[in-house]
Chains A and B, each alone.
Chain A
Amino acid sequence: EDKVVQSPLSLVVHEGDTVTLNCSYEVTNFRSLLWYKQEKKAPTFLFMLTSSGIEKKSGRLSSILDKKELFSILNITATQTGDSAVYLCAVSAGGTSYGKLTFGQGTILTVHP
């Protein structure tokens, strides 16, 4: 059974801090790992990672994948109150499971002013 585990489950920081969110996985026929941000509605897409060691960046957010150790991290630098959300990690498998995502529990990030 595919499995995705995120840590920490919750995190409280102050504006300007840097945070690192972790995601480890076990999946048969791995295809990609995805990060989403969820704020009281449906998740919005952040990153999709398929290759090890290649950092993806978008503004203050960045992410990297390690397919040997089966984990990914999501970094947010200079956090702002608008970054407060649930961050979801998910893995996508190929083959007959193409398109299906298995989600982790999520990390609840709270950024105080």
Chain B
Amino acid sequence: GAVVSQHPSRVICKSGTSVKIECRSLDFQATTMFWYRQFPKQSLMLMATSNEGSKATYEQGVEKDKFLINHASLTLSTLTVTSAHPEDSSFYICSARYPPGQGNSPLHFGNGTRLTVT
């Protein structure tokens, strides 16, 4: 069964509004979660690493003020796309893995959120 849950699966919003995407680890505590973005016919690009209880680590070229990440608990990370524009339309996917010491487990992905900004 799924180990990472992501919500919503699809969202359409107007330009200038903000959208929040939730990512939950279902049966384990994830001190670290990862947010990826995927444009059509392209591979997954890591946006940021979400760390429970501390600031997220953003990859080069990703705007911190635009993509707000909050990891307030050991099972929940949120990504908020602020002041969305049409070019932010993409497939956003979160992922998590069991913490170190609980086996060398693969990264598990949520089902993704297809964001369309009109």
A residues whose Cβ falls under 8 Å from a Cβ of B: 31-32, 34, 36, 41-45, 48, 50, 88, 90, 92, 98-106
Closest 6 CB pairs of A and B: A42-B109, A42-B112, A103-B43, A48-B106, A103-B44, A42-B111
Known interface pairs A48-B104, A88-B44. Does A99 touch B32 (Cβ–Cβ under 8 Å)?
yes
Chain A residues near B12 (CB, 8 Å)? Answer: none
Known interface pairs A99-B34, A102-B46, A104-B43. Does A50 touch B107 (Cβ–Cβ under 8 Å)?
no
**Bound state CA distance, A90 and B93, in angstroms?**
15
Total A-B residue contacts, Cβ distance less than 8 Å: 53
Q: Is the CB of A45 within 8 A of B108?
A: yes
**Bound state CA distance, A104 and B109, in angstroms?**
16
Chain A residues near B49 (CB, 8 Å)? Answer: 99-100
Interface of A is mostly: strand
Cβ contacts A to B, 27 pairs, < 8 Å:
A31-B104, A32-B106, A34-B107, A41-B111, A42-B109, A42-B110, A42-B112, A45-B106, A45-B107, A45-B108, A48-B105, A48-B106, A50-B104, A88-B44, A90-B44, A98-B100, A99-B34, A99-B49, A99-B97, A100-B34, A101-B46, A101-B107, A103-B43, A103-B44, A103-B45, A105-B42, A106-B43
Chain A residues near B34 (CB, 8 Å)? Answer: 99-101
> A86 → chain B, closest Cβ, in Å?
8
- Other A-B pairs, 9, CB within 8 Å; known A43-B44, A88-B43, A100-B46: A34-B106, A45-B106, A48-B105, A48-B106, A101-B34, A101-B46, A101-B95, A103-B43, A105-B43
